[in-house]
A and B are shown apart, each in its own frame.
Chain A
Amino acid sequence: MNEPASLSTIEDSAFVELRIPPKAEWAAVARLTVAAVASRLDFSLDEIDDIKLAVAEACTHAIGRSNGDHPVELIFEAQPDSIIVTVRDFSTSPHLESVADELDENHVGGLGLFIIQSLMDDVDFHVDAGTGGELTMAKRVGGTF
């Protein structure tokens, strides 16, 4: 059987989508999935561990925001030299509206977002009144951390 082609030889992006129930036991599925996607790129094992943790933190954050009422949607975009992960919670509950706000709160949720910011190259989080919270993070192969 031939080895699967490395994404580093593929010019186009590849998308993988996952929707999980907003329950703690499903967070592990999200981090295992992103590890599988990231392993298709040329990330080191340490970088894949970083991405797993960042995605798990984002899922924990989304699950907390959803209050169990909304699914959590994850979109993994594998590019030749980076991975972009979007985590949506579909919760319109009033909440802190930015990573900076969360960090100011100094609670466990803030700690999770601090970890995401530390491990990933780019992070953005915003809440839309109609569609809920969306956290997008990117990591480049051989990136900054």
Chain B
Amino acid sequence: MDIKVNVRKSAGDAYVVELAGEIDVYTSPKVKDAITELIDQGHYNLVINLEKVRYIDSTGLGVLIGGLKRVREHGGSVNLVCTNPQIKKIFDITGLVKIFGIFDDEPSAMKALV
């Protein structure tokens, strides 16, 4: 069980954090480190691509919520890319669909950044 994290610069000041694998209590610190590093460097507009994520639990959601809180303090935003029905269901039942912008593809998520 592992998570692969790929960070790349996109248009303007935006960065894409592409995740692949499973985000659970064991792997979520790696995701948190990547997001924290970007924010510490002053990048507050992020797209987190969950297209290749097969599983996420509350610790993973906690990392995403923490990242969103931090970038919003600086007027930034976090949009998600997700089409996996099982992953989207978790955002639905927790009400996080109302907090995150969730998009079907990366260009749409990028375009919707503040």
Contact = CB atoms under 8 A, between A and B. Distances in A.
B26 A111 contact: no
Interface of A: 24-25, 27-28, 46, 49, 52-53, 56-57, 59-60, 63, 108-109, 111-112, 114-115, 118-119
Q: Which 9 A-B pairs have the closest CB atoms?
A: A112-B58, A24-B26, A108-B62, A24-B25, A28-B1, A118-B93, A111-B58, A60-B25, A25-B26
Contacts of B62: 108, 111
User: Which of B57, B90, B93 counts the most A-chain CB atoms under 10 A from its CB?
Assistant: B57
23 contacts: A24-B24, A25-B1, A27-B25, A28-B24, A28-B26, A46-B86, A49-B86, A52-B55, A53-B55, A53-B57, A57-B57, A60-B24, A60-B57, A63-B25, A108-B58, A108-B62, A111-B61, A111-B62, A112-B57, A115-B57, A115-B90, A115-B94, A119-B93
Interface of B: 1, 22, 24-26, 55, 57-59, 61-62, 86, 90, 93-94
Contacts of B25: 24, 27, 56, 59-60, 63
